[in-house]
Amino acid sequence: MTSASGIVGRAAPFVLSALVVLQCGRFIASTSGTADETWYLQMAEAAIHGGDTAEFAVRGVAPLPILLQYALPAAGLLPDYAQKILLARMSAVALIAVPLVLVVYFWLAGEAGAGPAAAAAAVVALSPSVVAHSAIAATDACFVLCALLSLWALARYVDRPSWSRRLALIAAGALAFSAKYSAVELLGVAAIVLAWMDRPQRAMWRRLGTAGAIAVSIAAAGIAVTWPFHPIAGLQSQINHQRLGHEAYLLGQRGNSGWWYYHPIALAVKSTYVELAACVVALAAFGGMFRPRSTVTRVWGVAAALVLGSSMIGHVSIGVRYVLLVVPLAVMTATVWLMHATERRRWIALATGLAAVAAQAATSVAIAPRYLSYFNGFAGGPMNGYRWLADSNLDWGQDLPAMRRALARVGAREPIASYFGTAPLAAYGVNAWAWEIAGPDVKARTDWIVISATHLVGLYVPNDRFRAFRALAPFARPTPALFLYDASRPEVKAAIADATARGQ
């Protein structure tokens, strides 16, 4: 190892960790609890204080991320909602966000060297979508972390099969299942990779037997470690959710059965330019999967194809977070491909890596701290994101602090908020009527109304309640997810009356 690469190898883990903590800290300090975080907190409190785990099965939620992130908040050490969410998010950063980026770094360091690994891990650490979902105490980033560990264990086993590596693969697969029941997709990845690559000199029937045995062992281990949380019922709940669908929004359309092209579009408009370039390079790299000595490329390619493919045949179209794993897989694949392609001209790889990190850093700085609402220029930027997508892609109820400041700036005396979220308004100092409980007299005399983007586009509100507001220019856009209207304007009063009539 040269002196320069040695310095990079020693410094990179600390620099990457600091980068993750800094960005996640900015997001946490400026946002409120999201819709799902309230449910997860309640589930953790019910499980810890009363041993009631039934809600895990009803919602199809695997226990690992909830226990990791909400054990301390649910223990009753803090008095109010906002503080509990803060502690849960701090746990998420320490136990999930930092390890996620370090797994990318250390895995790639063994494949491509410390320098390329540091650049790739920095690109992942600077990804707005990765930052946002790593700073929110939900299930998505935890699944990405556990999935990467499972895929790493799979690649190690294929490279040099042994009983110890088989046990590590089974344990890692069970861990991924305990993070999210959709990890059953990884059983397919393991089966395909093992049947294809596990000691290819053996007869196919023997490879298929080994693949089946390992997949069954992973499933059995996953069910065993999550047994107190009703994993079979939870998995059935997830299957039913995908079969029945979920109310969703895409490009002005609303529906309950999803769109096969939803997640490809979500990735296209919510990925940074660097991530899009990595996806293009990764596609080229996957074309070389049949060449010798391409174990990790094959593993990453099969995993990305199954994750994206399963999302396209499902009926739940509510967030790019469902395919978040594709981002690090694309970046890692592109890095390995670039190192092989520039084996005799390392300056090209160095220049490309530095340019990618610089471009990704510029994007991160520009959107901070509104990482969740990032949309690239092809979509018209964050302020036009609501024209494409809603829900957790843009507006997950995270902007109550910004709502409070906006209402204070205009001197609102009796505002109304139609807010997409479950966090109590008062927990973040928002003194406003919630639309659902404001009576006709309050709506008639209100001076300001603020509407979440998700509600404005007609999602999760009856009869497209706020349709009339879409034709009005808001007084202000405090964030990409909030629309503020001056109720003294006649056209706004008319829109409020229309919304009231539609909601009855």
Largest Cα–Cα distance of the chain, in whole Å? 79
- Distance (Å, whole) CA 313 – CA 306: 11
Report pTM: 0.96
> What is the DSSP pairing of strand 433-434 with strand 416-418?
parallel
pLDDT of residue 285: 86
- What local confidence, expressed as pLDDT, does residue 1 receive? 45
Contacts 24+ apart (CB under 8 A), 98-102: 98/17, 98/20, 98/21, 99/145, 100/124, 100/130, 100/134, 100/141, 100/144, 100/145, 100/148, 100/328, 101/16, 101/17, 101/19, 101/20, 101/125, 102/13, 102/16, 102/17
pLDDT in the model for residue 2: 56
Distance CA 305, CA 417 (A): 41
CB 496 within 8 A of CB 410: no
Tokens 């109550």 found at: 400
CA distance 458 to 303: 35
* Residues written for the chain: 504
Going residue by residue through the chain (504 aa), what tens digit of pLDDT does each one get? 456 677 877 899 999 999 999 999 999 999 999 999 999 999 999 999 989 999 999 999 999 999 999 999 998 878 899 999 999 999 999 999 999 999 999 999 999 999 999 999 999 999 999 999 999 999 999 999 999 999 999 999 999 999 999 999 999 999 999 999 999 999 999 999 999 999 988 999 999 999 999 999 999 999 999 999 999 999 999 999 999 999 999 999 999 999 999 999 999 999 999 999 999 999 988 876 656 557 899 999 999 999 999 999 999 999 999 999 999 999 999 999 999 888 888 899 999 999 999 999 999 999 999 999 999 999 999 999 999 999 999 999 999 999 999 999 999 999 999 999 999 999 999 999 999 999 999 999 999 999 999 999 999 999 999 999 999 999 999 999 999 999 999 999 999 999 999 875
pLDDT of residue 292: 53
Radius of gyration over alpha carbons of the chain, in Å? 24
Our CA angle for 288, 289, 290, nearest 5°, is 90
Nearest CA-CA partner of 338 in 67, 95, 58, 123: 123
5-27 burial by CB neighbour count: b if 16+ within 10 A, else e?
eeebbeebbeebbebbbebbebb
What lies within 8 Å, CB to CB, of 190 at 6+ separation is 150, 154, 169, 173, 211, 214, 215, 218
